[in-house]
Amino acid sequence: MATLEQIVSLCKRRGFVFQSAEIYGGLNGVYDFGPLGVLLKQNIKNFWLDHMAKSEFETVLFDGALLGHEMTWTASGHVSNFSDPLVDCKNCKKRYRADDDDYNADKPCKHCGVKNWTEERTFNLMFQTNMGAMTGDSIAYLRPETAQAVFVNFKNVMTSSRTSIPFGIAQIGKAFRNEITPKQFLFRMREFEQMELEFFCHPSTSKDFFEKWRLCREDFYQKIGLNMTRIRQRPHADDELAHYSQACVDVEYEFPFGFKELEGIAHRGDFDLSQHSTFSKKDLSVHDQQAGSSYLPHVVECSVGVDRLFLTLLFDAYTEDILDGEPRLYLNFAPHMAPIRCAVFPLTKHQGELAQKVYADLKKKFSYVQYDEGASIGKRYRRQDEIGTPFCITVDYQSSEDAAVTVRERNSGAQERVAIGSLIEYLSVKFNQ
């Protein structure tokens, strides 16, 4: 598997990810996504939405605001509880999370080698701001998670979309956490994107739905193309459950720095709806006509970070091998996840006119196709391998005579002659479209 340094280098070199405001020294824990990064993120989000839509459970979509009302975060417990333990080295001023492996109160600072620590204290991770022209007019927060807007709007969504229990509300959006020590590139960031499902169900069925969603999410990771030998589900012990959880399972991936969480699947009970009902004094219960009584639904939550899954796909796909006697690097993305679906090359500039026509036809169908006529054909193959393009199409001397092109498969380097008129159908089967 690649090192973190190799992934960071590849991301910058090929236009996946850049350090935000790099020309000014960078903004720690904040990153900008380049052309290929945007496409890979979009593929991740589209596949997640498609997987939700095709599940056996009814799901509707939602997009909550980034700014949250102060009472929303008071009711959820974030104002009083959303904090991390913090310590500083008095000698070099290096800051650490007290629960981080890099900090040990009995040992010297890893940064400067001096043992001179501050007392442990708590640090709230939310970004606070003010609404209005005057400071103190109205306090608001950049949301540290996307779920609370769903809970606050639960009744609005259910009524307007004419859905009934059980059903899910799916949302993709940005969240913000003022992390003490952002690290490991995209793994822990201050600005990030989440894909979350809040599934509302009757209390009597909530445990069953928790198990069903656990299996459904495992199926997602298999279909997105991850190596399942590096995936595990780890149930939380009783002493590590969040205050709102009745049960929780982390989907973890084996990174070079150990097994780390990709997704949390949590049985949240009725904690959130109960809290917002109490603080807002609005009834968020659901009436059961058959039973003749009302109840607060329980919630099963599936929450995965887009950026963290993006990083996981890069680690999982990064492959070095020997092809035709030469070392090479390629990204072994599943074809339907690759940012560029295919690339078209004229063997020489003499085939440019026909190659441009093939390129234009493929672009209409697959959107993200590249055209490259610079350098040797071998170098063009290597460029596409390094960004994970699954198929390269070469228009050569024969193409004008037999109306066919050579299609090269990324992983094996195997080549196949395909009629130009059958090319779209051939690739569509490969992409499962």
In CATH, what number is assigned to the domain containing residue 252? 3.30.930.10
CA 266 – CA 250 distance, rounded (Å): 8
CA 431 – CA 162 distance, rounded (Å): 35
- How does pLDDT run across 58-79, given as a tens digit for each residue? 999 999 999 999 999 999 988 8
Strand pairing of 326-331 and 342-346? unpaired
Joined tokens for residue 243: 């205050």
Residues 376 and 240 in one domain: no
Residues 348 and 308 in one domain: no
Number of H helices, E strands in the chain: 13, 24
Joined tokens for residue 166: 């059980």
Strands, DSSP E only, in 184-285?
191-201, 231-235, 247-255, 258-269
Phi-psi region of 295 (alpha: psi -120 to 50; beta: other; left: phi over 0): beta
The model's confidence at residue 136, banded by pLDDT at 50, 70 and 90, is low
Higher pLDDT, 355 or 289: 355
pLDDT of residue 81: 81
- How does pLDDT run across 382-411, given as a tens digit for each residue? 999 999 999 999 999 999 999 999 999 999
Residues 358 and 304 in one domain: no
- The answer to whether residues 283 and 180 touch, using CB atoms and an 8 Å cutoff, is no
pTM (two decimals): 0.91
Residues 310 and 380 in one domain: no
In CATH, what number is assigned to the domain containing residue 392? 3.40.50.800
Looking at the 3D structure of the chain, how many domains does it have?
Answer: 2
CA 76 – CA 157 distance, rounded (Å): 19
CA 412 – CA 433 distance, rounded (Å): 22
Please report whether residue 119 resides in a domain: no
Please report whether residue 264 resides in a domain: yes
Residues 54 and 184 in one domain: yes
Residues 357 and 302 in one domain: no
Strand order in the sheet with 391-395: 369-371, 342-346, 391-395, 404-409, 415-419
CB-based contacts of 12, cutoff 8 Å, min separation 6: 18, 19
Residues 48 and 184 in one domain: yes
CA 191 – CA 31 distance, rounded (Å): 8
Residues 40 and 170 in one domain: yes
pLDDT(133) > 70 = no
Peptide bond into 108 cis (omega under 30): no
pLDDT of residue 125: 86
Please report whether residue 132 resides in a domain: no
Residues 254 and 184 in one domain: yes
CA 412 – CA 23 distance, rounded (Å): 40
Residues 310 and 406 in one domain: no
pLDDT(215) > 70 = yes
DSSP string for residues in 96-112:
EETTSTT--TTS--TTT
Residues 54 and 172 in one domain: yes
- How does pLDDT run across 216-260, given as a tens digit for each residue? 999 999 999 999 999 999 999 888 887 778 899 999 999 998 999
Residues 200 and 273 in one domain: yes
pLDDT of residue 137: 66
- The answer to whether residues 52 and 46 touch, using CB atoms and an 8 Å cutoff, is no
Nearest one of 91, 83, 92 to 120, comparing CA atoms: 83
What is the pLDDT of the chain when averaged over all its residues?
A: 93
Domain range for 246 is 4-61+165-279+296-314
The model's confidence at residue 1, banded by pLDDT at 50, 70 and 90, is confident
Strand pairing of 326-331 and 318-323? antiparallel
pLDDT of residue 157: 96
pLDDT(433) > 80 = no
Joined tokens for residue 58: 């009814």
